[in-house]
Amino acid sequence: MDRIRVLLADDTGLVRTGLRAVLEEIPQVEVVGEAADVPEIMCILKQHQPQIVLIHRLISMMNCLELASRIAEESLKARVIVLSRNANGEHIGQALRSGAAGYLVMNTSSQELEKAIRTVASGETYISNLALTYLADFVRAENSQESLLDRLTRRQREVLKLVVRGRSTKQIALALNISVKTVECHRTQIMERLDIHDIASLVRYAIKIGLLEIEDRTNPTSN
């Protein structure tokens, strides 16, 4: 059986040492290098051409996005597995969208880590059961929040969208050709129907569910 070449990526040397010790116990798995940031990863990828990049905690999610983009640009065949200590559904979704082929939480067993590496090396995707649970919970919560928009009229959605874009009451009234009093009435009703009772929370909610993206897809001419 061909050996599976693995590159370890973490910004803490002690963590890399611990992961290397685990991986070296797995038959046919060879650790070909360690890296603390994306430039080091790219250097080792080009020199040793590992099949797997195992990322534990590489500073931020932007590193995962940058890494996936650069691997694609360089036409490299390495596949990324994320091993996260503080997994949540949003992070998991971002990692998978950025190109990760595997996702595990830090309390995983060495047996599951081995399974993930072999699965991803064979060209498939591996997500641990706990990670899948986090992801499912996140998706359900997102869907539930988006469904709240059904409580709003089309005009109320227009008002909410402009509130999120930072428009004042007068600017909203002018843009929609309605009175300031009508805007205030709509805003009050929006808060009541969504059970959100201050502007800051209203803005956070609208941004979280991607209201602007939803509205702009259905109304490409909006500005």
pLDDT digits (tens, 9 = 90+) for 11-56: 888 889 999 999 999 999 999 999 988 889 899 999 999 999 998 8
pLDDT tens per residue, range 140-169: 666 555 566 777 888 988 898 888 888 889
CA distances, 223 to each of 78, 157, 165, 196, 218 (Å): 41, 14, 10, 25, 12
CB-based contact 33:8 (threshold 8 Å) = yes
Q: How many residues can be counted in the chain?
A: 223
Domain ranges of the chain: 4-140, 152-218
> b/e for 178-205, b at 16 or more Cβ within 10 A?
beeeebeebbebbbeebebeeeeebbeb
Query: What pTM, to 2 d.p., does this model score?
Result: 0.62
Question: CATH classification of 152-218, choosing from 3.40.1280.10, 3.40.190.10, 1.10.10.10, 2.60.40.420?
Answer: 1.10.10.10
Does the pLDDT value for residue 214 go beyond 60? no
Superfamily of domain covering 4-140: Response regulator (3.40.50.2300)
- At 199 the pLDDT is 76
pLDDT of res. 185: 92
Q: What angle do CA 134, 148, 188 make, to 5 degrees?
A: 130
Residue scoring higher pLDDT (181 or 91): 181
